């Protein structure tokens, strides 16, 4: 079974979390790769063939990035691509019934908002099958506007990936079916 982790990242935090999630998925026995959203857009076949699609994005203005928020990130030294998760997701075909899990990176605190919850809403509308609640991973904001993954979050991300792999394998067709004795 295979999984793909598709992410968007301005300062490298969501990329690092996505790579840790992919490592956790492999720990749990799935084939898994992390692709940034531009790579994913060029490889629809790989994305759509996978048994589990995991999507991660940085929280911008309490939701998903927009051309405007990406321009703000650029002004803080990031090098975002032109494509965000929102635009990519809107153009992705065949989501009905697909197994999907979502995460985001965000600042600490109750008022941070969540890019992941926004993706969940889009996914539910497209008829995808959300296999786990959205998972947030904390970043620390530097004074110059850049961000760093908060301590311990990459270990959490790897553990989350592993648990996703285990539950995906359990829900696969044929799991737990009694083996028929050979006559
Ligand atoms: C334009 C902009 C808006 C942001 N808005 C929020 C926000 O509303 N809530 C939040 O928790 N973090 C916010 N952040 C911080 C980002 O969540 C943080 O930079 C991101 O998680 C880092 O991940 P990345 O390195 O993958 O881009 C914002 C960052 C930028 C650049």
Residue 122 domain-assigned?
yes
Locate 114 and state its tokens.
């969540």
Please tell me if the CB atom of residue 139 comes closer than 6 angstroms to any atom of ligand 1: yes
When pLDDT is cut at 50, 70 and 90, the band that residue 94 belongs to is confident
Residue 177 domain-assigned?
no
Residue ranges making up the domain that contains 163: 2-170
Please state the atom number of ligand 1 nearest to the C-alpha of residue 12: 25
Please tell me if the CB atom of residue 69 comes closer than 6 angstroms to any atom of ligand 1: yes
Please tell me if the CB atom of residue 60 comes closer than 6 angstroms to any atom of ligand 1: yes
Residue 134, pLDDT > 90, answer yes
pLDDT tens digits, 31-75: 999 999 999 999 988 998 999 999 999 999 999 999 999 999 999
- Cα of 148 vs centre of ligand 1, distance in Å, is 10
What are the C-alpha distances in Å from 120 to residues 30, 58, 60, 146, 181?
Answer: 23, 14, 15, 26, 43
When pLDDT is cut at 50, 70 and 90, the band that residue 178 belongs to is low
Residue 180 domain-assigned?
no
* Number of separate domains in the chain: 1
Q: What average pLDDT score do residues 133-157 get?
A: 95
Residue 182 domain-assigned?
no
Q: What average pLDDT score do residues 124-151 get?
A: 94
The domain that holds 43 is classified in CATH as: 3.40.50.360
- Cα of 60 vs centre of ligand 1, distance in Å, is 5
Please state the atom number of ligand 1 nearest to the C-alpha of residue 104: 21
Residue 8 domain-assigned?
yes
Residue 178 domain-assigned?
no
- Cα of 61 vs centre of ligand 1, distance in Å, is 7
Kindly tell me the burial class for residue 43, based on how many C-beta atoms sit within 10 Å of its own C-beta (0-12, 13-18, 19 or more): middle
Residue 139 domain-assigned?
yes
Residue 19 domain-assigned?
yes
């Amino acid at each position: 079974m295979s999984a793909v982790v598709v992410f968007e990242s301005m300062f490298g935090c969501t990329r690092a979390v996505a790579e840790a999630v992919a490592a956790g998925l492999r720990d749990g026995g799935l084939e898994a790769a992390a692709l940034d959203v531009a790579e994913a857009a060029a490889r629809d076949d790989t994305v759509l063939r996978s048994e589990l699609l995991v999507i991660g994005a940085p929280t911008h203005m309490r939701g998903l990035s927009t051309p405007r928020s990406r321009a703000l990130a650029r002004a803080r030294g990031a090098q975002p691509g032109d494509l965000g998760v929102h635009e990519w997701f809107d153009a992705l075909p065949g989501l009905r019934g697909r197994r999907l899990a979502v995460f985001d990176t965000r600042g600490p605190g109750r008022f941070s908002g969540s890019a992941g919850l926004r993706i969940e809403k889009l996914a539910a509308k497209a008829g995808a099958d959300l296999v786990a609640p959205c998972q947030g991973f904390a970043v620390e904001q530097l004074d110059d506007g850049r961000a760093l993954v908060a301590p311990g979050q990459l270990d959490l991300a790897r553990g989350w990936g592993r648990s996703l792999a285990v539950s995906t394998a359990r829900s696969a067709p044929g799991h737990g079916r009694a083996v028929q004795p050979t006559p």
